Amino acid sequence: MRAIYRVARATYYEGWRRRFLNGILVFAILIIGSSWVFTYLQPGAELKMLIDVGLGSIRFFGMLIAVFLGTRLIPDEIEKRTIYTLLSKPVTRMQFLLGKYFGGLATVISNVALMGATFYVVFLVKAPQFAQPTEEGSPVYSMEFMYENIAKAIVLNFVELAVVMAIAVVASVVFSWILAAIVSFFVYFVGQMSEFFGHLADPETTANPVARMILLTIYRVLPHFENFDVRESILTDIPVIWPYMGKVAAMGALYVAVVLALGYLFFNQREV
């Protein structure tokens, strides 16, 4: 544990020194901080716009940071040769891999927490203005669960990024970092549509057994990233219940564990 913590700690602070990622963070905070400006584009649906732009930006920029950071963590250690002084000490490759993963994840979560806090402030200030009662007296939007749901959405985003980060780190162990980034983006975007692949794999939709098998494999292997997106529940003010949160978090943790275990099998054979 000590070795994992030490590697993770160094990775966390190194993560904050990456100017490219700092640039993404600053840009994301600017977009999120000015998300209320976009509400003018859709009169009558301002709150929907605010939530879409704000939470959508957090998910998108969080994913960008997770992929670009995750795919660089281990290749940078090898290129800069800092890995030599670490692996020549009593640090196993599993400890090193986990240290890099958790350190990188801590950086990503810190970044997303900053974005989330920015959005929360914007939401607290602007949302009540957009949810004024109509002339008939009924509110345009119910906001009974909205504040809590937004916090839960950000927490689910953390779990989603933990999965993205694991895929990115492991892909970088197997492929060159550019290919690893492409693979990570591909998995993320296809994973957003996993339910669609599940639907296509239905015998009533696809008759060809080979195509069905491929679609079913994609459906089962890829993470179901749409489960982490609860914007619909926020807009309709349906509470995001804790059992759902727990189930999605458990699935995410299981996915991370399997991906990292596979990554270890590759990394243990990798020469540095």
Partner 1 sequence: MAHIALAIRTDNLTKIYYMGWGRYQVGVRDLSLEVEEGQIFGLVGPNGSGKTTTLKLLLGLIFATSGDAEVLGEPMGSPRAKQRVGYLPEGPYFYEHLTAPELLRMYASLFGLGGRQFESRIQELLELVDMWDHREQRVANYSRGMRQRVGVAQTLINEPDLLFFDEPTAGLDPIGARDIREVILRLRGEGKTIFLCSHLLKEMEPICDNIAILDRGELVGQGGVEELLAGEEQRYRVELRSPSEEMLAGLEQVADEVVWLDDTCRALFADRQAAFEAAARADDEGGHLLAVGPDRRTLEEVFIDAVGEVAPDASDL
Instruction: Provide the binding-site residues for partner 1, judged by CB under 8 A.
Output: 2-3, 6, 9-10, 13-14, 17, 80-82, 84-92, 269, 271-272
Based on CB atoms, which residue is closest to partner 1, 91 or 112?
91
Exposure on the CB side of residue 223, measured as CA atoms within 13 A:
32
Angstrom distance (rounded) from CA 34 to CA 121:
11
Q: How far is the CB of 74 from partner 1 (least distance, A)?
A: 14
Based on CB atoms, which residue is closest to partner 1, 15 or 62?
15
Based on CB atoms, which residue is closest to partner 1, 33 or 75?
75
Based on CB atoms, which residue is closest to partner 1, 90 or 209?
90
Q: How far is the CB of 5 from partner 1 (least distance, A)?
A: 8
Q: How far is the CB of 101 from partner 1 (least distance, A)?
A: 17
Tell me phi and psi for residue 139, to 5 degrees. -70, 150
Residue type, 104: G
Q: How far is the CB of 9 from partner 1 (least distance, A)?
A: 8
Based on CB atoms, which residue is closest to partner 1, 3 or 140?
3
Q: How far is the CB of 263 from partner 1 (least distance, A)?
A: 18
Angstrom distance (rounded) from CA 62 to CA 170:
18
Based on CB atoms, which residue is closest to partner 1, 53 or 105?
105
**Whether the Cβ atoms of residue 143 and residue 131 lie closer than 8 Å to each other:** yes
Q: How far is the CB of 103 from partner 1 (least distance, A)?
A: 11
